Amino acid sequence: MDNTNLASVKATVYGYVQGVFFRAFVLRRAEELGLSGFARNLHDREAVEVVAEGEKKRLEKLIEYLNVGPPAAKVERVVTSWSEYTGNYHDFSIRY
């Protein structure tokens, strides 16, 4: 894999995204895309944080999925922050 195509993104998804299997949805999509990282609920507000690493094009596809979410979710907005690939994650997980 060409390291110049690797990146890391942190996305905060706001809206009706807790209690609607949003993290499980993100886990499935990230695994399908071959990405690593994690998804977790942010308990101080109605939001889910996603940290993902991998090929930039695949990360962009994940962000497209985050803007839609699973059927029961109502995504209001997704705020993203890009950074350099770290290689800190071996798989994708849900954090509690």
In the chain, the domains with their CATH numbers are 3-84 (3.30.70.100)
**Of residues 28, 40, 41, 95, which has the active-site annotation?**
41
pLDDT digits (tens, 9 = 90+) for 38-85: 999 998 779 999 999 999 999 999 999 999 999 999 999 999 999 999
Q: What pLDDT was estimated at residue 2? A: 57
Catalytic, 41? Answer: yes
- State the average pLDDT over residues 7-26: 97
**Of residues 5, 23, 67, 77, which has the active-site annotation?**
23
Q: What pLDDT was estimated at residue 44? A: 77
* DSSP β-bridge partners for residue 94: 39
| Residue whose token pair is 């399908």 | 32
Residue 4 pLDDT class (50, 70, 90 cuts): confident
* C-beta neighbour count of 92 within 10 angstroms: 25
Rounded CA-CA distance 77/96 in Å is: 22
Residue 32 pLDDT class (50, 70, 90 cuts): very high
The 3-class secondary structure across 11-52, one letter per residue, is: EEEEEECCCCCHHHHHHHHHHHHCCEEEEEEECCCCEEEEEE
